[in-house]
Chains A and B, each alone.
Chain A
């Protein structure tokens, strides 16, 4: 691994990833209490993708995410308290309890949509990019999606149109290897790399180690630069691994769909551990600084959970509001 040259950025990436990890571990720890009564899809092991991409974006850029949206939302600056309240179904949630964990949005932070239907948010990101191009805002839209969505027709419709109009959009394919229990090699031909999906549409594609936050940030930065210069879309394939299960946060399904050896191999490549070791080895992260960082993040997370617990539930009286905008 090369030496870290931009120390404040490296620390920023580490902080962003650690924050996501602590939030999601807390969700997993407390899920059995039954106060979070919606499906949650954790990004544990995949934090480097969200942190790296967001580090290359401006706050006014927009992201469009999936059912597995916690990391994307938090890395882009989505409000933590509103997220935890949303997962608890509370009125103070980012959607007032209407969406739950899979529909996180925070328009002020540029988190415009999270959609639990696979592939659904991809063309919406392309539409936002069209709007940015039409209005000349200089903004960039990001479509986050997984390896599963790369099998959906709508991805190809979106890639084609984005290439045709040279839209300022970054397609981030977060390949975690599995669609629920089904591995990629049962779903796609091994002889066709995922990056070819972009090249087939004339879109530059780059494959990066999705567990290396610095590499993701660098690649995303190149893509965002191209988009801002009017050079069109990029496909960024980030190879990573879902350390947790598809949905049930506190369980391990030892049913033979993946081996312990595979899990251990990827655990050793954990993006957070890797960057932490590097920061420590290079003397950037001291024990004291790490302890202080953990303290402050844990306090923030505890406060968010406490706020969610204390917040009122939404009233059914208001459930019809905003169905039609007046």
Chain B
């Protein structure tokens, strides 16, 4: 897939293995899980399907065989209760990783996450901690529709005390998941389902990608595109196309939505003077809205024009592929909005735009790979 070529692995910190392989996001996540369980016996995994034949899209493959049902805990269909169980285990010294195959299911768990996970360390002034990771999956596929695909990150990111992470590449997915599991804080880890299929360079062995905020994944000087999750992939595609028209877009992977560190985005906007946000979630009250608010408050003088917000329209996600095409913004959406932001005449962009449009047309709207021909 495109991302394989475009997204290079971050160089690992010194002193760790530098060997890298091309892996899928799912395999990168599985490696992270296995490494953490091997290194720390307090780490255990729980969720629906963690021991089933498909092993959560392969991300828990091999764990049951190695660690047994005591540390690979198949759970009843009781999302809220199991979240409380995970919190209790975390408070009592364990390091659970709880998995929901859809973020939509985690709506049932908001009481536990908001009232207990987010507040316990603050409430007890650090006497008790909640070293919990909740992996949950967002993103579209095979007509799953309005209650099976939602990008609910801003619901979690508005809660003080939670850490909210959205990996964009296989290498980051592994490093950020390791960092999340090793964190003493409750981490909501939102995986776009297409990330599981994205292939990219992934360093071998243990490494941790700090959960310290946004990072520039492609330098540029004409505009800043601050993107989350899969929209980083779309933003890099758009930046490639813009480059062929002589426009240099800087792409920032937001990565950590809470606690949010705006500095890398502010620094970028101070260089470029222009901001576009590309959000996997809804526009209204979304992460993109928050980023624009912060940049407007703190770097208003650096802006040469109004910021641009790209996200989902204020509608539930439709099932039909005929409707999904209009619903989800792509690299082409970003390309067009960037051209308008820069005030460039369409004639100057036409060749690059046509080429990008042809590329986009080849990519299915409802599956991450053309070879996928059934629900996944």
> Which of the 9-residue segments B5-13, B120-128, B168-176 touches chain A?
B120-128
User: Do B91 and A161 touch across chains, with their CB atoms under 8 A apart?
Assistant: no
Q: Is B80 part of the binding interface, using a Cβ–Cβ cutoff of 8 Å?
A: yes
Residue of A123, A128, A165 near B80 (CB, 8 A) is A123
A5 to B242 CA separation, bound complex (whole angstroms): 87
A125 to B84 CA separation, bound complex (whole angstroms): 8
Q: Is B70 part of the binding interface, using a Cβ–Cβ cutoff of 8 Å?
A: yes
Residues of B within 8 A of A132 (CB): 92
A313 to B12 CA separation, bound complex (whole angstroms): 46
User: Do A105 and B124 touch across chains, with their CB atoms under 8 A apart?
Assistant: yes
Residues of A within 8 A of B127 (CB): 105, 107
Residues of B within 8 A of A122 (CB): 81, 84
Residue of A134, A153, A154, A323 near B94 (CB, 8 A) is A134
A145 to B123 CA separation, bound complex (whole angstroms): 21
Residues of A within 8 A of B272 (CB): none
A-B contact count (CB 8 A): 142
Chain B proximity mask over A148-178: 1 for CB below 8 Å, otherwise 0: 0000011001101100110000000000000
A62 to B76 CA separation, bound complex (whole angstroms): 24
User: Do B125 and A127 touch across chains, with their CB atoms under 8 A apart?
Assistant: no
A322 to B125 CA separation, bound complex (whole angstroms): 6
Residues of B within 8 A of A99 (CB): 123
Contacts of A116-147 to chain B: CB distance below 8 A: 117, 120-132, 134-135, 141
How many Å from the CB of A304 to the closest CB on chain B? 20
Given contacts A123-B80, A123-B84, A325-B185, contact A161 B122 (CB under 8 A): no
Given contacts A134-B71, A141-B88, contact A158 B81 (CB under 8 A): yes
Q: Is B111 part of the binding interface, using a Cβ–Cβ cutoff of 8 Å?
A: yes
Other 18 A-B pairs with CB < 8 A, given A131-B94, A135-B93: A62-B92, A95-B123, A98-B123, A99-B123, A103-B123, A105-B124, A107-B127, A117-B115, A123-B84, A127-B86, A127-B88, A129-B88, A130-B85, A132-B92, A153-B81, A157-B81, A160-B78, A165-B73
3 closest A-B pairs by beta carbon, nearest first, are A127-B88, A123-B84, A157-B81
Given contacts A107-B127, A120-B111, contact A125 B116 (CB under 8 A): no
Residue of A154, A160, A325 near B84 (CB, 8 A) is A154
How many Å from the CB of A89 to the closest CB on chain B? 14
Chain B proximity mask over A275-304: 1 for CB below 8 Å, otherwise 0: 000000000000000000000000000000
Residues of B within 8 A of A105 (CB): 123-124, 127-128
Q: Is B112 part of the binding interface, using a Cβ–Cβ cutoff of 8 Å?
A: yes
Residues of A within 8 A of B82 (CB): 123, 157, 161
* Smallest Cβ-Cβ distance to A159: which chain B residue: B81
Residues of B within 8 A of A229 (CB): none
Provide a sorted-by-A list of 15 A–B residue pairs whose CB atoms are within 8 angstroms.
A95-B124, A105-B123, A105-B124, A112-B128, A124-B85, A124-B112, A126-B84, A127-B85, A128-B89, A132-B92, A134-B71, A165-B73, A321-B126, A324-B121, A325-B185
Q: Is B129 part of the binding interface, using a Cβ–Cβ cutoff of 8 Å?
A: yes
User: Do B121 and A128 touch across chains, with their CB atoms under 8 A apart?
Assistant: no
Q: Is B137 part of the binding interface, using a Cβ–Cβ cutoff of 8 Å?
A: no
User: Do A154 and B80 touch across chains, with their CB atoms under 8 A apart?
Assistant: yes
Q: Is A115 part of the binding interface, using a Cβ–Cβ cutoff of 8 Å?
A: yes
Residues of A within 8 A of B259 (CB): 323-324
Residues of A within 8 A of B121 (CB): 322-325
A95 to B120 CA separation, bound complex (whole angstroms): 10
User: Do A123 and B85 touch across chains, with their CB atoms under 8 A apart?
Assistant: yes
Given contacts A98-B125, A325-B121, contact A113 B70 (CB under 8 A): no
Residues of B within 8 A of A129 (CB): 88
* Smallest Cβ-Cβ distance to A94: which chain B residue: B124
Residues of B within 8 A of A64 (CB): 88
Residue of A107, A117, A126, A157 near B88 (CB, 8 A) is A126
How many Å from the CB of A91 to the closest CB on chain B? 10
Residues of A within 8 A of B84 (CB): 120-124, 126-127, 154, 158
Residues of A within 8 A of B73 (CB): 130, 165
Residues of B within 8 A of A160 (CB): 76, 78, 81
A122 to B88 CA separation, bound complex (whole angstroms): 9
Q: Is B144 part of the binding interface, using a Cβ–Cβ cutoff of 8 Å?
A: no
User: Do B125 and A123 touch across chains, with their CB atoms under 8 A apart?
Assistant: no
Chain B proximity mask over A305-326: 1 for CB below 8 Å, otherwise 0: 0000000000000000111111
* Smallest Cβ-Cβ distance to B93: which chain A residue: A131
Q: Is B329 part of the binding interface, using a Cβ–Cβ cutoff of 8 Å?
A: no
How many Å from the CB of B141 to the closest CB on chain A? 28
* Smallest Cβ-Cβ distance to B114: which chain A residue: A117
User: Do A131 and B89 touch across chains, with their CB atoms under 8 A apart?
Assistant: yes
Residue of A115, A120, A127, A158 near B89 (CB, 8 A) is A127
A120 to B110 CA separation, bound complex (whole angstroms): 11
Q: Is A198 part of the binding interface, using a Cβ–Cβ cutoff of 8 Å?
A: no
A129 to B121 CA separation, bound complex (whole angstroms): 20
Residue of A98, A107, A141, A161 near B75 (CB, 8 A) is A161
* Smallest Cβ-Cβ distance to A318: which chain B residue: B125
User: Do B116 and A124 touch across chains, with their CB atoms under 8 A apart?
Assistant: yes
Residue of B76, B80, B91, B122 near A113 (CB, 8 A) is B91
How many Å from the CB of A209 to the closest CB on chain B? 30
User: Do A321 and B70 touch across chains, with their CB atoms under 8 A apart?
Assistant: no
